[in-house]
Amino acid sequence: MIDEAVVARVLAAALRTGGDFAEVFAEDKLSSSARLDDGKIEELTSGRDRGAGIRVVRDDTTGFAHTSDLTEEGLRAAAEAAGAAARGGGGGVREVALTRRNNTSPHEVQILPEDVAKSRKADLLLKANDAARAAGGAVRQVGATYGDSHRKILVANSDGLLTTDDQVRTRLMVSCVASGDTGMQTGYEAPGRTIGFELFDEVDPADIAREAARRALVMLKARPAPSGTLPVVLKRGAGGVLFHEACGHGLEADLVGRDASVFRDKVGTQVASPLVNLVDDGTYAREWGTYAIDDEGHPAQRNSLIENGELTDYMWDHLRARKAGRQSSGNGRRQSYHHLPMVRMTNTYVLAGEEDPEEIIRQTPHGIYCVQLGGGQVNTATGDFVFGITEAYMIENGEITHPIRSANLIGNGPEVLRAIDAVGNDFDTWTGTCGKDGQGVPVSSGQPTLRVSAMTVGGTAA
């Protein structure tokens, strides 16, 4: 995107006002999407976003400017603006010698999405629509969205780093609304991977649609959920978002540093059941949060956060790691070149245990079996959370029985971690977008089937 010599001169200009550290982040992103509603393709879009963000750090002050002008003049103007914001006035000249670092992609992309005709992408939605409506006459509405992106980034900084990455993501989302005696119920399914259009050699849009329709139809038969404190068994993958929100954010070093985390000063202490092992892994498989480098140029890596219930580390970006005298954990991420990086999760998950998932259910006389969670709210300073349940069932006498609806899970992250008393030997993940401070980035989370011995269930049953 930018010539190496130009990058070096831009960094030098950024440091001229006396900055301690300077960084150039350049991005060239192609994206396309298609949306179906009420059986018709309502939208086919494609776009390109190209530009650079320049950061200059002086002591504890950060100056930042971004531009869509990737000429040397445009970049130098942004660099000077960022430098002036970090520290006004003149200064000496500091030359930057760049050393290129090559990265190995976590996996090979076979079919670039931009090489696929829009008609083929639209056909996926039509196929999903037909399959969802064929699942049952109670299905009244079907919505489907296809999306892909091809993002190329360049990161260079005044420490001499120069590196690049090429990231491809493809996803299909299907939602269904079914109507019956209990009102309207919704089902949703949305797989995505960091691969190209070959995703649909592995995932059939009709199967995705049928699963979304099944969820909506099952919930038509659901009874109001009970209220009270009950054991909760989370099906593999179902609780990933809970651990992401209720525990993961509290392990991000910026929130820890702002005293906005319940896990502050807890490294080396027991914060969870000895059965719990939690990692954040930006290299994992082809998951939604996988990449070769983060948005500060640091290699993605597997970071162990909790081992046998003991908190072992936080997640770190470059600046907070530098201040702490340690290395970044590869968790510096940003939504685009318009934004500053911050500490963010990648693929965060609880490792599988040794128990048979079916045995966990059999050993639960009475409780809730949660298959899919919806949205929620978390206070990272206290760990308190509320999550909606979109698919769940009663467990009675060790067996899964009737579906339940209109339920919330209410609890506290550290308390839930300590109350886990069974961890299965299976595993699955959840794909999503993580929002923080106005920025969204792709992530995944996951876990094996596990049981929380006691959790507050907020239902509507009399």
Over the stretch 144-202, which tens digit does the pLDDT of each residue have?
999 999 999 999 999 999 999 999 999 999 999 999 988 999 999 999 999 999 999 99
Q: By the 8 A CB rule, do 300 and 346 touch?
A: yes
Residue-range definition of the domain harbouring residue 314: 223-458
Residues 156 and 238 in one domain: no
Distance of alpha carbon 175 from the chain centroid? 20
Q: Give the pLDDT band (50/70/90) at residue 60.
A: confident
Residues 248 and 274 in one domain: yes
- Strand 450-458 and strand 407-412: the pairing is antiparallel
Q: Give the pLDDT band (50/70/90) at residue 426.
A: very high
Q: By the 8 A CB rule, do 175 and 143 touch?
A: yes
Tell me: pLDDT of 94 over 70: no
Task: Tell me which of 169, 193, 220 is where a domain ends.
Answer: 220
Residues 210 and 247 in one domain: no
Residues 308 and 402 in one domain: yes
- Strand 228-234 and strand 366-378: the pairing is parallel
Give the domain CATH number at 84: 3.30.2290.10
In order of 183, 221, 296, 392, the CA distances from 140 in angstroms are: 12, 16, 46, 22
| pLDDT at residue 88, as a whole number | 52
Question: CA 222, 226, 227 angle in degrees (round to 5)?
Answer: 145
Residues 234 and 213 in one domain: no
Rounded to whole angstroms, how far apart are CA atoms 228 and 233? Answer: 15
Q: Can you spell out the DSSP letters for 355-416?
A: B-HHHHHHT-SEEEEEEEEEEEEE-TTT-EEEEEEEEEEEEETTEEEEEEESEEEEEEHHHH
Residues 30 and 136 in one domain: yes
Task: Tell me which of 220, 240, 271 is where a domain ends.
Answer: 220
Phi, psi of 129 (to 5 degrees): -60, -45
Q: Give the pLDDT band (50/70/90) at residue 462.
A: low
Residues 312 and 165 in one domain: no
Tell me: pLDDT of 438 over 90: yes
Residues 107 and 183 in one domain: yes
| pLDDT at residue 92, as a whole number | 43
Residues 368 and 421 in one domain: yes
| pLDDT at residue 107, as a whole number | 84
| pLDDT at residue 96, as a whole number | 57
Residues 348 and 237 in one domain: yes
Residues 73 and 126 in one domain: yes
| Edge-to-edge strand ranges of the sheet holding 278-281 | 310-311, 302-307, 278-281, 347-350, 439-447, 428-436
Collect contacts of 372-380 with beta carbons under 8 A, ≥24 apart: 372/188, 372/215, 372/235, 372/238, 373/238, 373/239, 373/241, 373/242, 373/409, 376/241, 376/242, 376/245, 376/409, 378/245, 378/246, 378/249, 378/413, 380/249, 380/250, 380/255, 380/260, 380/261, 380/262
Tell me: pLDDT of 444 over 80: yes
Looking at the structure of the chain, the number of domains it has is: 2
Q: Give the pLDDT band (50/70/90) at residue 97.
A: low
Tell me: pLDDT of 319 over 70: yes
What is the overall mean pLDDT for the chain? 94
Task: Tell me which of 188, 220, 252 is where a domain ends.
Answer: 220
Q: By the 8 A CB rule, do 51 and 64 touch?
A: no
What is the rounded average pLDDT of the residues 133-142?
Answer: 97
Residue type, 168: V
pLDDT in tens, 267-311: 999 999 999 999 999 999 999 999 999 999 999 999 999 999 999
The answer for 409, left when phi > 0, alpha when psi is -120 to 50, beta otherwise, is beta
- Strand 347-350 and strand 439-447: the pairing is parallel
423 token code pair: 């961890």
| pLDDT at residue 141, as a whole number | 97
In order of 78, 94, 414, the CA distances from 14 in angstroms are: 8, 9, 43
pLDDT in tens, 335-345: 999 999 999 99
Residues 187 and 163 in one domain: yes
